[in-house]
Amino acid sequence: MRGAGDQWQFANGVTFVGGRVLGFGNVLTSGLDAGITYLAPFAGVGYASRDGAEDQARLRHEQDTKMKALARVFHAAGIRCEVLDASKMQTTLWRKLIVNAAINPLASLLDAPNRVSSNSVASSEGSRHCVNMVVQEALAVAEQEQIPLECTQNELVEDILEVARNTGSNVCSMLADLRRGSRTEVEAITGRIVAGGKRHGVPTPTNELLLSLIKALEDEGTRRQSE
């Protein structure tokens, strides 16, 4: 959350709710009943080493008040949310990264929503195998990055397939970008796993292949736009 000055620079968040903009002020959501949005304060926001214990306690109280107010806004909008400690957000962000790395490239290559068609991420045996490989590689990278994901590969795969089912009507942002002929966020998602693998000497062949294929589709979209 960022705004003028430092007033709104207090929260970090990640959501497992799907959404697609249909028009101005018109958003189609999916997974709203099952998906959760996680909020956490930015670690150390407003703190300084020179602050005394009393000042830090006051700042923490102000931060907690803002987080509770923000959570009430989400709840009032019908969005389930949970406030986490700042220390737990890194784990949650990595879980979201792996979910996106497993779903978005596959849905984009299949040119399909997460669940609706017969060749979708959640219903295809081949797709589920690919999800397993993406997760296996990502977990190996996360371990080297010392990210405590606190789950097994099978548990995370089931979570991913559940997200795909819950957001079944959603056209992921990566596919939406490709359909527009735009660049995608694949470097920030799959590329993050591949880069981590190279940094730590962890093989990530499945993620590397998906990254290359999505970038090839990006290049083709750019070529068509220029014709």
The most distant pair of C-alpha atoms in the chain lies apart, rounded to whole Å, by 64
DSSP state of 112: S
User: Residue for token digits 């989400």?
Assistant: 74
The answer to whether residue 88 is catalytic is no
CA nearest neighbour of 39 among 68, 78, 65? 68
Could you say which of 66, 68, 88, 96 is catalytic?
96
d(CA 217, CA 227): 16
Task: List, in sequence order, every beta strand (DSSP E) within 33-137.
Answer: 37-41, 81-83
Please give the full DSSP string across 17-76, using - where no structure is assigned.
Answer: -EEEEEETTEEEEESTTT--EEEEEPTTTT--TT--HHHHHHHHHHHHHHHHHHHHHHHH
d(CA 221, CA 181): 4
Q: Which residues are catalytic?
A: 96
